[in-house]
Chains A and B, each alone.
Chain A
């Protein structure tokens, strides 16, 4: 008989295909090159879409004359302070809401009724309260960060396996230690989901607030050059907002890996 062989190969190899590291850069590089070509060929006037090379040159100039740094620092201060305040309050209150039945019953309805308000609508009121300095911008960001964090923390606490709380109590934990050693780490994955969600919100609120009421900051810079129709410099602002968001996300990802090594 004719000896025929049919080798069996892995038919789901595509599921575990290895992608080289440069693939991610490839997409962005391709887009930028395409963009540059479109601009060089004068398909779109530079006023509507400045070329990447022009944006980079403008960015370099603004970096050298200090304009960019000044605005960037103002924005970073606002978002840093606002985010930190909102996140810390959000986690703390979320833990309390999740742990205490009384706090849950009384406060959760309040949280849920304020949550859907677009926070930027409160800016005029907050300016009235805090004046026109840095406070209202920090406050509006803190407010915008607070709600997604508090709600995620709260749900995180509710998903902690009760058997782990029982185990902790059995081995002698008091209430404080149950929160610190069981509920907080147990809720951490959900807390990080909230923190990531809030990162986007905080950037949005930063720019909106700066466009409405600020002399400095990336948001006001973008609006300023928009009004002057200097779109190259406008795009520099947009570019740095994108970078800011990217760095923000990466930092959170790094922190998540550091703090949740057991996952």
Chain B
């Protein structure tokens, strides 16, 4: 199954009722098992785009569709920046939420729940409420909840941006390991260039005013172990290339505050 984003545009009315173009002329696709990262300065509409792909916002123009569904209803899993675990549900109950809603049997819920809780390393915390967990552990639960529905497309909206730098590095590594086991088509939004190069098969660089695709960069490095010494110079080249594309826009964004 591939996901096609075709001619997507989005306009808003601002507080003074003027029309603001947040996104325009967005065209790309996510192939099966591909990890695509959207990167751009703040205000480039990357979260808007992810919301449109996730069906949480309607585009002003264009369409987003799955291709090759063979009559099956495609499933989405979203990992939110705000994590958005249900505070009144335990880790286990949160993880099986999507299974519950799709009408899976209790036994299937238990099996998959356990499987994905183990995968993100939360065994022993099944009965804990989100409030009792650290930020990193909460986001693990958020990831497990998204994985548990075994989605055809996994959407991640700056999932680690609320975490401290050390936890974030560890979580990036873990995410790669998990991705390697599940091979889900993924659309990942970040403003962190290192993170983008570390995770992506393809990086889509967005610019702002209006938000549009500036360049699509294929990262030709092995998926696992990009932080090894032998790839360092390549890694830096990619990161620098992306930074040069974003730099001007980021500076402009800073001025606007």
Q: Across the interface, which residues of A come within 8 angstroms of B98, CB to CB?
A: 171-172
The reply to whether the CB of B13 lies closer than 8 angstroms to some CB of chain A is no
Quick one: given A177-B101, A262-B131, are A170 and B88 in contact (CB under 8 Å)? no
Contact B56 A185 (CB under 8 A): no
Contact yes or no, A161 B145, CB < 8 A: no
B102 touches A172 (CB 8 A): yes
Q: A168-B97, A171-B149 are in contact. Are A262 and B88 (CB under 8 A)?
A: yes
A163 with B80: CB separation less than 8 A: yes
B225 an interface residue at 8 Å Cβ cutoff? Answer: no
Report whether B101 and A172 are in contact in the complex, using a CB–CB cutoff of 8 Å. yes
**Is B121 interfacial (CB-CB < 8 Å)?**
no
**Is B84 among interface residues, defined by CB-CB distance under 8 A?**
yes
Report B-chain residues with C-beta under 8 Å of the C-beta of A181: 86, 97
Query: Looking at A168, A171, A185, A261, which has the most chain B CB atoms within 10 Å of its CB?
Result: A171
Known: A177-B101, A261-B129, A262-B129. Contact between A170 and B78, CB under 8 A?
yes
Interface size, A (range): 20 to 34
Are B88 and A167 touching (Cβ within 8 A)? no
Contact with A along B35-57 (1 / 0, CB 8 A): 00000000000000000001110
Nearest Cβ on chain B to A178's Cβ, whole angstroms: 10
Q: Does B82 contact A (CB under 8 A)?
A: yes
What 1/0 flags go to A169-197 for Cβ under 8 Å of B? 11111000100011001101000000000
Residues in A with CB closer than 8 Å to B130 are 262
How many B residues, CB 8 Å from partner? 23
- A164 contacts B84, C-beta separation under 8 Å: yes
Residues of chain B from 99 to 115 with CB closer than 8 A to chain A in the complex: 101-102
A163–B84 contact, CB under 8 A? yes
Q: Is the CB of B82 within 8 A of A163?
A: yes
Separation of A185 and B86 alpha carbons in the complex (Å): 9
- Does B88 contact A185, Cβ atoms closer than 8 Å? yes
A186: chain B residues at CB < 8 Å are 87-88
Note all chain B residues with C-beta closer than 8 A to A188.
88
A166 within 8 A of B: yes
- Most chain B CB neighbours (cut-off 10 Å) among A164, A167, A168: A167
Taken together as a complex, chains A and B put the C-alpha atoms of A1 and B201 apart, in Å, by 69
Find out whether the CB atom of B56 lies under 8 angstroms from the CB atom of A166: yes
Asked if B76 CB lies within 8 Å of chain A CBs, one says yes
- Residues A173 and B86 in contact in the complex (CB < 8 Å), given A167-B78, A167-B80: no
Question: B84 contacts A167, CB within 8 Å?
Answer: yes
Contact of A171 among B82, B88, B97 (CB under 8 A): B97
- What is the 8 Å Cβ interface bit string for chain A, positions 139-178, against chain B (1 contact, 0 not)? 0000000000000000000000101101111111100010
B residues less than 8 Å from A167 (CB atoms): 78, 80, 84, 86
A260 on interface, CB distance cutoff 8 Å: yes
Q: How far apart are A167's CB and chain B's nearest CB, in angstroms?
A: 4
Partner of A262, one of B78, B87, B102, B149: B87
Contacts of B82 in A (CB 8 A): 161, 163
CA distance A168 to B145 in the complex (A): 11
Do B54 and A170 touch (CB < 8 A)? Answer: yes
A247-B82 Cα distance, complex, nearest whole Å: 40
CA of A161 to CA of B78 in the docked complex: distance in angstroms?
16
Query: Considering the chains assembled together, what is the distance between the CA atoms of A177 and B87 in angstroms?
Result: 16
> Which residue from chain B places its CB closest to the CB of A164 in the assembled complex?
B84
Closest to B76 in A: A170
Give Cα distance in the complex from A133 to B97, angstroms: 49
Residues of B within 8 A of A261 (CB): 129
A172 to B97 CA separation, bound complex (whole angstroms): 9
Q: A166-B56, A168-B97, A262-B131 are known contacts; what are 20 more A-B pairs with Cβ within 8 Å? A: A163-B82, A164-B86, A166-B84, A167-B84, A167-B86, A168-B86, A169-B56, A170-B55, A170-B76, A170-B77, A171-B149, A172-B75, A172-B98, A172-B101, A172-B102, A173-B101, A177-B101, A186-B88, A261-B129, A262-B89
> What are 24 of the A-B contact pairs (CB < 8 Å)?
A161-B84, A167-B80, A167-B86, A169-B56, A170-B54, A170-B56, A170-B77, A171-B77, A171-B97, A172-B101, A173-B101, A177-B101, A181-B97, A182-B86, A185-B88, A186-B87, A186-B88, A188-B88, A261-B129, A262-B88, A262-B89, A262-B129, A263-B87, A263-B131
**Lowest 9 CB-CB distances: which A-B pairs, in order?**
A171-B98, A172-B101, A185-B88, A167-B84, A262-B129, A163-B84, A170-B78, A262-B88, A163-B82
